[in-house]
Amino acid sequence: MEITLDRGPRDPDAKQKLASPLPFFNHMLEHVAWRGQMNITLTVQLDHFDLVHVITEDVGITLGRAVKEYVERNAANGIVGYGSAYGVIDESLARAVISFENRAYFDFTRENVELPEQMEGMCSEDLVAFFEGFVQGAQCTLHVDVLKGRQGHGHHIWEAIFRAFGMALYEALMEREWRAQMTAGVAGDIRFEIEERYE
């Protein structure tokens, strides 16, 4: 599995470069790239285990590691390190909140919204596995909340979720001069000055 993350100008061939064997999953990753304003190149080569949840989780882990590396490489420039966003499409609404503090935690809630077990040849659990993997790879905290959705519109629910995630990621990866050399949480930025006195 190989992932390239590029925050330069939009690649007109970006859609074709999301090449997992799962078309609906590629479509969800396209939302992340589009809303996150980044180019994501993904190639997957399978040896023996053609298991959907393994593919989605491993893509999540790999993408998470790539984002973590990006955050670390650009900390001197003032990476914000946290972000939140709402994703919407028609009747579906979701929220994502992310923070890069070297704390791997994922929380997924639904406000009386029922997710379909199957969606476009995938299980909803397989899509959740992507976020679980991302959190492991990125060592970040991620909360995803499904706020609105209608039965029979599972496709839109997942689009709203991945849109929110992409926009929250975009916000977290923005650079602010004020935040140069800082982490997302104050615990990582506490500096002590020790005054030594000699008599």
| In contact, 112 and 42? CB cutoff 8 Å | no
Domain contains 197: no
pLDDT at position 193, please?
47
Domain contains 64: yes
Domain contains 85: yes
In tens, the pLDDT along 68-126 reads: 999 999 888 889 999 999 999 999 999 999 999 999 999 999 988 989 899 888 999 99
Q: How many helices (H) and strands (E) does the chain have?
A: 4, 9
In tens, the pLDDT along 155-165 reads: 999 999 999 99
- Give me the domain span that covers residue 73: 2-184
Q: What's 138's domain CATH number?
A: 3.30.230.40
| In contact, 188 and 101? CB cutoff 8 Å | yes
Bridge-partner residues for 93, per DSSP? 88, 148
pLDDT at 169 over 90: yes
In tens, the pLDDT along 120-165 reads: 889 999 999 999 999 999 999 999 999 999 988 999 999 999 999 9
Domain contains 194: no
Q: How far apart are CA 156 and CA 115, in angstroms?
A: 11
> Structural domain tally of the chain?
1
Domain contains 87: yes
Q: How far apart are CA 112 and CA 19, in angstroms?
A: 34
Please give the biggest Cα pair distance in the chain.
Answer: 78
Q: Is the four-CA dihedral 42, 130, 92, 6 of positive or negative sign?
A: negative
Nearest Cα residue to 11 out of 52, 39, 33: 39
Domain contains 8: yes
At residue 182 the predicted structure's pLDDT band, cuts being 50, 70 and 90, is: confident
Domain contains 69: yes
Phi/psi for 83 (5° steps) reads: -165, 160
Domain contains 43: yes
In tens, the pLDDT along 9-27 reads: 999 998 899 999 999 999 9
